[in-house]
Chain A
Amino acid sequence: MPLYHNDDQAMLADTARGFIAEEGNIAKQLRHWRDRNCKDGFGHGLWKQMAEMGFTGMLLDEADGGLGMGHVEAGIVLEEIGRNLTPSPFLTSSVLAATALKHGSDDLKGRYLPGLIAGDSVFAVAIDETAKHRPSRIATRAEKSGNGFRLTGSKSFVIHGGSADMIVVAARTSGSDEDADGITLFAVPKDAAGMSHDAVRLVDTSMATHTKFDGVELDGDAVIGEIDGGRAVLDAMLIAGRVGAAAEGVGVARGAMDMTVDYLKQRKQFGRLIGEFQALQHRASHLYSEVEIARAVTIKAQQLLDAGAESADLMASVAKAKVAKTARLAVQEGVQMHGGIGMTDEYDIGLYMKRDRALAEFLGDAFFHANRVATLSGY
């Protein structure tokens, strides 16, 4: 398969670019909700509009009411979300939770998918338990209790945890904290007794929670996939989420780069446009090269994932690490080349820097994924 968008995908990209630039732009969404101190950190109106576009259920099978599309297509939407810094539950709901629910029972699908497809529901995922992403260690425990389970423990960095109608929780049903086996995924509804959220606003204005499970009683049918066999579903969810986060990061990088290159063509100092200075030209050209490469490997990972290739796991980590490094470069060069106004809240470039920081941390930063590339490659 050639590493560029086919005609249908190019058409989707046109549609998504126009729609998100119009409705999801920084003034209309990120600044709007931030300046009103919105507790959700995103707009439900836009989520509903995304549902009308078919985006919210795009990864779901047509039999389940979705569009039956793949990660290349989801990546197209995510790249535009990234470019516009659109606060949106798309990645956590339509990519991560949706991937988990694909492995769920018909009962679970029936309970949650219609709300997602209609844009009425928002989902979150609770994986991390410490300040760094370390899914190999799951200490939150779910013990057998009657016909169901009793959930005890705590999770961090639960994006949209406070506004989620359902949270996918990775918990341990057997073994010790570092075991690969013995993990089970649960769909925990928002009104579950014993679940409490400590909501925190993050640097990029998004809302996350530290979520506590204090003997939360769950029905047996809250289990997603197999009891004790949740690692496979968790891994599938993580790969999809990482590839999706990479696509969003490509959008952040391209948005920051485009804004910066434009600025080089407008700002005058010493009687000429600063874009005439070779010192800045070379840095801009280097950045361009890195962004092109980050985008290429992200599409590669999307295609491998859609093809069900074994190498998708490795390539997802390569993409996540490469994009994290590249978007970091883009936002840092962006602020520096904007000079003083790059430090002001009035200009958008600083918002890119803040978004990159949070997005790169989500589901593993460049260090985590480079280490993973080494481990998967046998060194």
Chain B
Amino acid sequence: MADLETFRQETRAWLEANCPPEMREPARDEDDVYWGGRRATFKNDAQKAWFEACVAKGYTVPAWPKEYGGAGLSPAEAKVLREEMSRINARPPLSSFGIWMLGPALLQFGTEGQKQRFLNEIARGEIRWCQGYSEPGSGSDLVSLQTYGEDKGDHWVVNGQKIWTSYADHADWIFCLVRTDKADKYQGITFMLYDMASEGVTTKPILLISGSSPFCETFFDNVKVPKSYGDDVPAYVGQVNRGWDVAKYLLGHEREMISGLGGGDRTAAIGTMMKRHAAKLGDELDPVLRAELAMFDVDALAFTAMGEKFLDEIKVGKAHPAQPNMMKYVGTELNKRRHELMMAVGGSRSLEWESEETGGGKPARNWLRTKANSIEGGTSEVMLNVIAKRILDLPGA
């Protein structure tokens, strides 16, 4: 405990010295978030300085081992760092699917050679990854995916189409689920890694109802994927035809991440904020709206306690392995409800799509964005199926 307190003091001092004031406020625009990659540019010197300081310290991926670009922090130390960063509103120095998704998969399933190469690249923000999972005909039923890699000895030839590939148009490499055995549904998928600059890869952004295009359609037309990138660096994670194990592991991980949206560290009642917001607009809360806010706050504050309990139980292995599905279901549904209420409080002001007062239509665009929460990473309905089957043990589920 004394060591942790020392670590907190050191961390606080380090942040004080290295986190520029401009980086101590929430990201406002897309380009406030630094994603790294071959084509990345910094918005300003502060963003660059903060990123470079964190890379040097291992703080882009603090809990990863030092040999892979991390800082080797224990879970308790990583928590202290999160708390101290959150205390000064420090932005994450680097955001990426490499950190959130591929990294955890490689730490669990990767070869030493893969870890040395790919994890270090991710930690240093050199390569920006995207995730190739869903296909037009394979959404909730992901395992039916049909993008096919034909075995040509030392390489595969990949043909097919992915959809909802986040930021594929900005990505350097893709981790992609590819069918390599048409005869075996579950044990016929390989978790491949390849360069988006390969010949035959094209991407097309999808315009969403929120007006933004975070997702793409991604097409593979006779893409040649070598089976190996060198000694101990295979082009696939885990084993050939056993990519579904990796995908399932990552889906669990993703659900945990998304489930944080609804509760997380929120301890303040939303109604308090909404009353101030209404006052700023010259209004007061309608009594029925206030009542709905109060009912929401009961659910949201209770869910915050659930989030705390869930994390405490995960630490000691007490949580049911399917519990992240429940967290994802409730967290995303709550987040949608939160934005419905915020829109109601904002009234006609929140309808504005481009005005300066709304930061370019933020309330409406954010509200629309939340509608994807209960679809991406497994729909609410799929989450409920999983709870029925794995937790409640209902028949035929």
Contact = CB atoms under 8 A, between A and B. Distances in A.
Nearest to A272: B396
Interface in A304-322: 315, 318-319, 321-322
Given A281-B388, A289-B330, A296 B293 contact: no
State which size class the interface on B falls in. Answer: 35 or more
Contacts of B295: 321, 325, 366, 370
Contacts of B305: 3, 293, 296-297, 299-300, 315
B301 A379 contact: no
Contacts of A322: 298-299, 302
B249 to A, nearest CB: 22
Contact of A276 (B269, B285, B395): B395
B301 A289 contact: no
Interface in B300-336: 301-303, 305-306, 308-310, 312-313, 315-316, 318, 326, 329-330
A85 to B, nearest CB: 22
Interface residues of A, number: 40
B230 to A, nearest CB: 45
User: Interface on chain B toward A: helix, strand, loop, or mixed SS?
Assistant: helix
Contacts, number: 142
Interface in A1-49: 2-4
B298 A321 contact: yes
A273 B396 contact: yes
A179 interface: no
A278 B389 CA distance: 11
Contacts of A278: 385, 388, 397
B298 A292 contact: no
A292 B263 CA distance: 14
A78 to B, nearest CB: 18
Nearest to B301: A318
Contacts of A282: 381, 384-385, 388
Contact of B312 (A2, A285, A288, A370): A2
B397 A377 contact: no
Interface of B: 268-269, 271-272, 274-275, 285, 290-291, 293-295, 297-299, 301-303, 305-306, 308-310, 312-313, 315-316, 318, 326, 329-330, 381, 383-385, 387-388, 391-397
Given A275-B394, A281-B397, 14 more contacts: A265-B394, A275-B395, A275-B397, A278-B388, A278-B397, A281-B392, A285-B385, A285-B387, A285-B388, A286-B384, A288-B387, A296-B305, A370-B291, A379-B272
Interface of A: 2-4, 261, 264-265, 272-273, 275-276, 278, 281-282, 284-286, 288-289, 292-294, 296-297, 299-300, 315, 318-319, 321-322, 325, 366, 369-371, 373-374, 377-379
29 contacts: A2-B315, A2-B316, A3-B312, A4-B318, A265-B393, A275-B396, A276-B397, A278-B385, A278-B388, A281-B385, A282-B381, A282-B388, A285-B326, A285-B384, A286-B384, A289-B387, A292-B326, A293-B305, A296-B309, A296-B310, A315-B305, A321-B298, A325-B299, A370-B297, A373-B269, A374-B269, A374-B290, A379-B274, A379-B290
